[in-house]
Amino acid sequence: MTAAELWAANCPRSTRRALIRSGELVPIRRGMYVVPGPGGSPRGADRDQRLVRIAAVLTAAGPESAVSHEDAALVLGIDLLDRPSGNPLTAPVRLTRPPGAPGSRSSKPGVCLRLAALPPGHVTVRRGIRVTSGARTVADLARANSFAAGVVAADSALRRGLASKAELRAVIADCARWPGIPRARAVADFSDERSESAFESLARVVFRDGGLPSPDLQVWVGSETAAGRVDFLWRRYRTIAEADGVAKYANPLLARAQLGGDSRLRAAGFEVVHFGWRQLTLTPAQVVAAIRESFQRAGCRP
């Protein structure tokens, strides 16, 4: 806590209530408060503010509980497809507690409680917070969300070294009879540590759902100086796809470098398809169609 937050916790009750009513003070649990920044936004990064609330709620929940699901992903640094809704200072914290643990039949305000077994290998400690392991967190997210959301989390955990495919499969085997496990198993099989972002993970799901063959990821085409590394390559069809972030369009230097790279790749006999986040999420069928057309232009029909 900062000096301002310590003062808030110890100031007279009437003053504290007035500050809460005016929005100048945000309670995160009994006896703990955060001072918002200019414009009413939490002072500091949302992630840091959320970690404060997570730690406070977990302390009150007792030693048998562990932070799980989206909040576990935040603690561990696992990417999510969708940002959790709600104010990070006040939204309920997601916890898991074994069914037989004290207080497992009741939940406190500010907690989204799930009852499920927590074997020792499914729990770790990060930043002083008891949290589900990377593999268990991915399995929980895959069970509770869409296939695409599960793949984004799984790819991120593999890429960051927070889980391995063997660990994912071991956790899934431990939870074999739980709801959603078939989807979690499919996510684990499909996951790939070579996906470098949630954008690329989602693209792989779109390709799969569109019936495209699986591409190679992060491949060097030609020499490192003559062409470079590409996001997706269908070598048989001599087609490359690039997932373009906003920065690539906003920076003229990056845009010119991309044009030069495309020219060299086309000179080498490759078709090149670019797509952005909006295209991928709003018109995924058009992205798939553009890639299929590139297959045909290259003279190969899948």
> What is the model's pLDDT at position 39?
43
Pick the more confident residue, 228 or 238.
238
pLDDT tens, position by position, 161-174:
999 999 999 999 99
User: Average per-residue pLDDT in the chain?
Assistant: 83
List phi, psi (to 5°) of 259: -60, -40
Mean pLDDT of 129-152: 97
Share of the chain above pLDDT 70, in %: 74
Predicted TM-score (pTM) of the model is: 0.81
Q: How far apart are CA 302 and CA 300, in angstroms?
A: 6
> What is the model's pLDDT at position 84?
84
Whether pLDDT at 302 is above 50: no
pLDDT tens, position by position, 22-81:
665 666 555 666 555 544 444 445 777 788 888 888 888 888 999 999 999 999 999 999
The secondary structure of the chain as a DSSP string is --HHHHHHHHS-HHHHHHHHHHTS-EEEETTEEE-B-GGGPBSS-HHHHHHHHHHHHHHHH-TT-EE-HHHHHHHHT---SSPPPS-TTTSPEEEEE-TTSTTTT---TTEEEEE----GGGEEEETTEEEE-HHHHHHHHHHHS-HHHHHHHHHHHHHTTS--HHHHHHHHHHTTTSTTHHHHHHHHHH--TT--SHHHHHHHHHHHHTTPPPPEEEEEES-TTTTEEEEEEEGGGTEEEEEE-HHHHH-HHHHHHHHHHHHHHHHTT-EEEEEEHHHHHH-HHHHHHHHHHHHHHTT---
Other beta carbons within 10 angstroms of residue 190's beta carbon come to 17
Q: How far apart are CA 30 and CA 111, in angstroms?
A: 13
The CATH code that applies to domain 199-297 is: 3.40.960.10
Q: How far apart are CA 116 and CA 94, in angstroms?
A: 13
Whether pLDDT at 253 is above 60: no
**pLDDT-based confidence at residue 263 (cuts at 50, 70, 90):** confident
Domain boundaries, the chain: 1-44, 55-193, 199-297
pLDDT tens, position by position, 76-124:
999 999 988 888 878 899 999 998 776 655 567 788 999 999 999 999 9
Contacts of 234 (CB under 8 A, 6+ apart): 212, 213, 215, 216, 240, 241, 291, 295
Mean pLDDT of 188-200: 96
